[in-house]
Amino acid sequence: MSTRPSRHYDYIDDGPAIYVDSFATIRSESDLSRIPADAEKIAVRMIHGTGQTDLTRDLEIHPRLVGAARGALENGAPILTDAHMVASGVTRARLPRDNEVVCLLRDASVPGLAREFGTTRSAAAVSLWEPRLEGAVVAIGNAPTALFHLLEMLIDGAPRPAAIVGVPVGFIGAAESKQALSDLAADHGIDIPYVTVHGRRGGSAMAASALNALAQERE
Ligand X SMILES: C/C1=C2N=C(/C=C3N=C(/C(C)=C4\N[C@@](C)([C@@H]5N=C1[C@](C)(CCC(=O)O)[C@H]5CC(=O)O)[C@@](C)(CC(=O)O)[C@@H]4CCC(=O)O)[C@@](C)(CC(=O)O)[C@@H]\3CCC(=O)O)C(C)(C)[C@@H]/2CCC(=O)O
- The yes or no reply on residue 120 touching ligand X (CB under 6 A) is yes
- The yes or no reply on residue 171 touching ligand X (CB under 6 A) is yes
Stretch that binds ligand X, among 19-27, 82-90, 131-139, 184-192 (CB under 6 A): 82-90
Q: In this chain, which residue has its C-beta nearest to ligand X?
A: 170
- The yes or no reply on residue 83 touching ligand X (CB under 6 A) is yes
Residues 173-202 that bind ligand X (CB under 6 A): 174
By CB under 6 A, the count of residues binding ligand X is 21
Pairing of strands 79-81, 163-166: unpaired
Q: Give min distance, CB of 202 to ligand X, in A.
A: 7
Are 26 and 51 in contact by the 8 Å Cβ rule? The answer is: no
- Residue of the chain from 90, 165, 169, 180 that contacts ligand X (CB under 6 A): 169
- The yes or no reply on residue 142 touching ligand X (CB under 6 A) is yes
Beta bridge partners of 166: 140, 196
- The yes or no reply on residue 122 touching ligand X (CB under 6 A) is yes
- The yes or no reply on residue 71 touching ligand X (CB under 6 A) is no
Q: Is-catalytic flag, 188?
A: no
**H-assigned helices in the chain:** 15-29, 40-50, 65-74, 84-89, 110-117, 121-127, 130-133, 144-155, 174-182, 184-188, 204-215
Q: Give min distance, CB of 28 to ligand X, in A.
A: 27
- The yes or no reply on residue 11 touching ligand X (CB under 6 A) is no
Closest CA to 83 of 54, 65, 113, 105: 105
Q: Give min distance, CB of 176 to ligand X, in A.
A: 11
- The yes or no reply on residue 141 touching ligand X (CB under 6 A) is yes
Environment class of residue 7 by beta-carbon count within 10 Å: exposed (0-12), middle (13-18) or buried (19+)? Answer: exposed
Residues 48, 62, 84, 188: which is the catalytic one? Answer: 48
194-197 β-sheet, strand order: 59-61, 194-197, 163-166, 137-140, 79-81, 101-102
- The yes or no reply on residue 49 touching ligand X (CB under 6 A) is no
Environment class of residue 168 by beta-carbon count within 10 Å: exposed (0-12), middle (13-18) or buried (19+)? Answer: buried
- The yes or no reply on residue 172 touching ligand X (CB under 6 A) is yes
Q: What secondary structure does DSSP assign to 189-202, as a single string?
A: S----EEEE-SS--
Binding site for ligand X (CB under 6 A): 83-85, 105, 120-122, 141-146, 169-172, 174, 203-205
Q: Would you please indicate which residues are annotated as catalytic (active-site) residues?
A: 48
